[in-house]
């Protein structure tokens, strides 16, 4: 019986300066894991690491731009220097630039794929030599329901998240031989700074009334799933794309007709 499925594991959490990444880093640490808090915004990475430390957890901050291989390699190196190993990669970094396909610029299109797909591959490959040495290695990528369902103004976001889903399954297929599990989480409508920055509040409020559970999700609810998939308790789960959406993706209508 597993009593502490996270205790003793070390995770590199990418995009941990806010939202689902922050919640994942804090949840991982609260359950006995060591965390490298990596984010493009150095100040936010430091804030989250400080908050984890004040709560008695083990965390260090790292400034990380997922479009820069040198930054990625430095983050992995710092992880090894501090904790001596790397068991888990949690990738929540994302870029959203809303636009219709007929008008999205190639610059924005390429930037979306660079962060949401290329960055995930670059981080995973840099971490792989150390993950191979772990007896409980796992990668958890964060895609989106937008990766399986189109939506207005989706631009590069939905297509890039679809690519991330397939990339995650390819990783799972190729790296199972090394004992590395790879899964991908598909959040629905979640109350994060990124969501609030890209969707007007009145639209979020309207979406909440349409959802089966009549509310948007919270970052901590997605983090619970992410950390479970990263844990020893999920030791036979790999190559899965799992929605965390309050039932949104499996309802023909958001609520029963006439309600």
Helix or strand run (H / E) with residue 13: strand 10-14
Active-site residue, 228 included: no
CA–chain centroid gap for 55, Å, is: 23
Beta-carbon contacts of residue 155 (< 8 Å; ≥ 6 apart): 96, 97, 98, 99, 100, 101, 104, 108, 109, 112
Mark residue 8 as left, alpha or beta (left: phi above 0; alpha: psi -120 to 50; beta: remaining): left
Beta-carbon contacts of residue 20 (< 8 Å; ≥ 6 apart): 92, 142, 187, 190, 192, 219, 222, 223, 226
Among the listed residues 151, 157, 228, 236, the single catalytic one is 157
The Cα–Cα gap between 148 and 206 comes to 22
Beta-carbon contacts of residue 35 (< 8 Å; ≥ 6 apart): 10, 11, 13, 16, 25, 28, 29, 49, 52, 57, 58, 59, 60
Is the separation of the CB atoms in 92 and 16 below 8 Å?
yes
The set of catalytic residues is 157
């Amino acid at each position: 019986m597993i009593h502490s499925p996270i205790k003793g594991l070390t995770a590199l959490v990418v995009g941990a300066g806010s939202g689902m990444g922050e919640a994942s880093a804090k949840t991982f640490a609260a359950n006995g894991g060591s965390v490298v808090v990596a984010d493009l915004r150095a100040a936010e990475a430091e804030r989250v690491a400080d908050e984890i430390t004040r709560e008695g957890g083990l965390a260090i901050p790292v400034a990380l731009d997922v479009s820069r291989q040198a930054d990625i390699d430095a983050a992995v190196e710092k992880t090894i220097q501090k904790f001596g190993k790397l068991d888990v990669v949690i990738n929540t970094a994302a870029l959203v630039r809303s636009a219709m396909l007929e008008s999205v610029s190639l610059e924005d299109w390429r930037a979306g794929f660079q962060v949401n797909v290329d960055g995930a591959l670059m981080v995973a490959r840099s971490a792989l030599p150390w993950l191979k040495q772990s007896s409980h290695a796992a990668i958890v990528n964060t895609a989106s329901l937008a990766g399986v369902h189109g939506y207005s103004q989706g631009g590069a976001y939905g297509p890039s998240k679809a690519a991330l889903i397939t990339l995650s399954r390819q990783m799972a297929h190729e790296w199972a031989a090394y004992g590395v599990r790879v899964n991908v989480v598909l959040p629905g409508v979640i109350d994060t700074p990124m969501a609030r920055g890209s969707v007007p509040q009145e639209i979020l409020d309207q979406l909440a009334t349409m959802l089966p559970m009549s509310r948007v999700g919270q970052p901590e609810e997605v983090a619970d799933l992410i950390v479970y998939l990263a844990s020893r308790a999920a030791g036979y789960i790999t190559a899965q794309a799992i929605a965390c959406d309050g039932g949104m993706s499996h309802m023909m209508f958001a609520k029963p007709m006439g309600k």
